[in-house]
Amino acid sequence: MNKFIFAAVADNTLTSNAPGIDLTFDRVIGILTSFTCWFTQIALLLTVGAIVVYGLQMAISRDNVEMFTKAKKSLGWAIVGAFVIFGVYTIIATVANAVGAQVPALPLSC
């Protein structure tokens, strides 16, 4: 069956039903920005959760220096993760705008 589809596409007989025919550069950028939107939302939700959890660990650890140090280090990494997430969004948005892609998802309004 696959040989038939590839042969038909090569002969231009099934071009209206063949998958991937309408894939343009703007659509590829749109797919990437949609993925970025989804990834950013999930990652920021997890980052906020991590900041809350590590903040509570810091509050609970009071006199335990080891727990406090571990929670402080983890909280720092959660904040670094948030900056990385925003950096990824910024890079993708900048590249998409630089190549002139007309994508309605920039800036990401999910």
Written as six digits, the tokens of 28 are: 């590829």
Q: What is the DSSP letter of 63?
A: T
The domain tally of the chain equals 1
| Alpha-carbon distances, residue 84 vs 4, 55, 81 (angstroms) | 46, 20, 5
How does pLDDT run along the chain (110 residues), one tens digit per residue?
545 455 444 555 555 555 656 777 777 777 777 787 788 788 888 988 999 999 999 999 888 999 999 999 999 999 998 888 888 777 877 777 777 666 555 555 55
- How far, in Å, CA of 108 to CA of 94, rounded? 12
Question: Considering the domain boundaries, does residue 11 fall inside one?
Answer: no
Q: For the whole model, what pTM was predicted?
A: 0.59
Question: Considering the domain boundaries, does residue 48 fall inside one?
Answer: yes
Question: Considering the domain boundaries, does residue 85 fall inside one?
Answer: yes
Residue showing tokens 């959760």: 49
Question: What is the maximum alpha-carbon separation in the chain?
Answer: 76
Question: Considering the domain boundaries, does residue 18 fall inside one?
Answer: no
For 51, the domain range is 23-98
- How far, in Å, CA of 54 to CA of 40, rounded? 21
